[in-house]
Structure 1
Amino acid sequence: MIPPSTAPASAAPLIARQSIVNHLQQVVGYELFNRSRTSALHTAASDVLLVFTALSHVGTEDIVGTKLLFVNCTHESLAGGHLDLLNPAQMVLEIPPLGHAAQEEVAARLPILAQLRAQGFRLAFDHSVLDSAYAPWLQLADYIKLDLSALPLDQLAVLVQYARRHTQAQLIAEKVETRQHYETAIRHGVQLFQGYLFARPSEVHTQLLPPAQAHIIELINLLRQQASTEAIEEVLKKDAGLAFNLMRMINSAGFGLRREVSSFREAVMILGLRKLFRWAALLFTATRDGGAPPAVCQTAVVRGRLMELLALEAGMGAEQADQAFVTGLFSLLDAMLPLPLASALALISVPEPVSAALLQGEGPLALLLTLAKACESSDDAAFDQAARSLALSSTQINGAHLQALAWTDHLTDPL
């Protein structure tokens, strides 16, 4: 029988987003803020980890949808390579000033900024970029933020005029808290706005389905060894958390694919070993406080493997056997997440036969699922009926069940 308990809630990252609106007060983008108490230390990967968490968000809708996403960066994170995981078309990287910058420092950062912009990322700077020391950066500015809490309003006109003469950047008035702020910015030609007058940052509680740390480490080691797609796929099959988070991210709006991905193999091939390595490293960081996977996750793996073996015993093809595995693995998502099964499946892409089996109880995969559940619960009546429908003998089924249990025990042995 499946244990009734579910996974304990992990220390989920807490994200806040604040709207950026145009002069018609239509939302054009969101700035993300990390509100997690455990994230006081700003590391090189933390900026992209914040976005990664947002894209892998487990909820009823995407946090950002197809809007622009403004992300505060450090100069260390810009050079770290983690940005390869993101869709440049949706991202605006907010570049911090260098403090009392010397011309040499500004010039040294220029190649990295130019490369990011060439890759398709938009770049945003605060109003300090209008200082003469930052002249080399001005040509790269897509957005310039004017902080109305720090700038005297009588200086705004001068800065706007200078920006219009020397850049093609769109201007954003930020920290707009009063009607006077807004009207002054409008009068000087600013057309994008951010601040309490329009919206306060709204918190979004996120949750990653925590995979086993050992499985993430194993995946990282395989990727460093440039292992085969088949070997990497096998690791994903071990852990519903790994599988779900990968499919959730790659099919999110922010990842930028034009079609949905519904198989692990395809996800691995699309990402490639390099990007998959970075994803695994970020996932390891995001879930470093998580404990061992609960018993329900192991049950899902056994169920998936059992259904895969039974599909082959029933004469189904390799594609249906793969779908049988996915059906079993994701059949307990509602027990792993604080969401109904239909809502959880809506966050990822699964083939139609898998969806029909899980949500409508229809098709041959539904019969396999019924049989797998009967094996877990010792439901003799359901076992006999499903076995007859699939033309499988008790010997075949029991043998497959033992193989699935042994396979899962082997997979979950300590590394």
Structure 2
Amino acid sequence: MEGFFLGRQPILDRNQNLVAFELLFRQDETDEKASITNDLSASANVIINAYCQLGIQNVLGKQRGFINADPELVMSDIISLLPSKHVVLEIKETAIVTAEFMQRCKELKQKGYQFALDSIVAMNQKVEQLLPLVSVVKVNVLELEKAELSKLVAELNRWPVLLLALKVESREQENYCMQLGFQMFQGYYFAKPEVLTVKRADPGKLSLLKLLTLVMGDSDIEEIEKEFKHQPGLSYNLMRMVNSVANGLPQKINSIKQAIMIMGRKQLQRWVQLLLYTADQSNGNMSSALMQTAAARGKLMELIAAVERPHDKTHQERAFMVGILSLLDVVLGIEMQQIVDKLGIPDDMSQALLVREGRLGHELKLIEANEKGEVAVIQLILAGLGFLSLSELANIEIQAIGWANRIGEVAN
């Protein structure tokens, strides 16, 4: 098996619900400007491994996956590995379009496959040739002035297609695209949304942060129980969850203290960390995308730490926490420094979260580069770490994503 990595970027609808992921495939030989042959090989590798090892459901959960489909991949038998209900095949305008390619796309469309036209900035003859095939058009909004974008949207609206705003990097861009009627959105503004820290911290989440502080510290069970009693909804969820997984026990759990003891401090800590990401009314369902990203980061950090130090469970747990906590400033709307101070976490974790330094910091940097498909940065960090190959990273990432999807289903 050749080396590859799999990155995912969330795609959201107008209500900021998570509706799909773009799957980013690369090999160690490729860069951002990969050749068609390497693109095909990289895509094939990931598709086959995702299916054979864990199944595409683990990679995508209930969402669709937008997959780069150059002509060579579309014409190949590999497509038969991709159930039509799971994927949207992305065609680039720069692709060499032949009569055979058009015929193949029509046949696949009749079999239920959906196509998207990727990174459009203007109408031209080739775009008009491909539009009858596609159900989604991804418009590169970063490359266009407002007037140009408005004109392009008006031209595209003549076709029965959904419009996806690609490379949305600011709230202003998102608002303008909303006004123009875009149905879907993708970009660093959503996938790495530090810009959202301007929102006010949700009081309920600050209470959860207090609870997390107690669980992570040396507080006794009575103190943790007392904090739960201040939050009836949380207590109910805890009891319900513990009872649902405690079928083998002779009797039902009927007290908060009993539930805490059965769950154990480590699992309770993980549960509270993930609860901080669950959707709240003030932020639509952006949090569902954030929760999945944070959960996948946590698990991937833990799995990387397990490769580095297989017998050091403490190191693995700290790595998990760094991954989970790395987006908490976005969710709470407060500076990471305040979170680090409040939780009183060890120096190596603080350095990782604040300035991406130290072993854990470099591993977090690796994961963030992977999310964005920054091939050169990934290769550099892997070389510096010295214990992880690109193919090993891809394998454990598929495990982490599958775990995060299952967690997301439970949380919803």
TM-score if structure 1 supplies the norm length?
A: 0.42
User: More helix by proportion, 1 or 2?
Assistant: 2
Which protein is bigger by CA-based radius of gyration? 1
Which structure exhibits the higher relative contact order, with contacts defined as CA atoms closer than 8 Å and separated by 6 or more residues?
2
TM-score under structure 2 length normalisation:
0.43
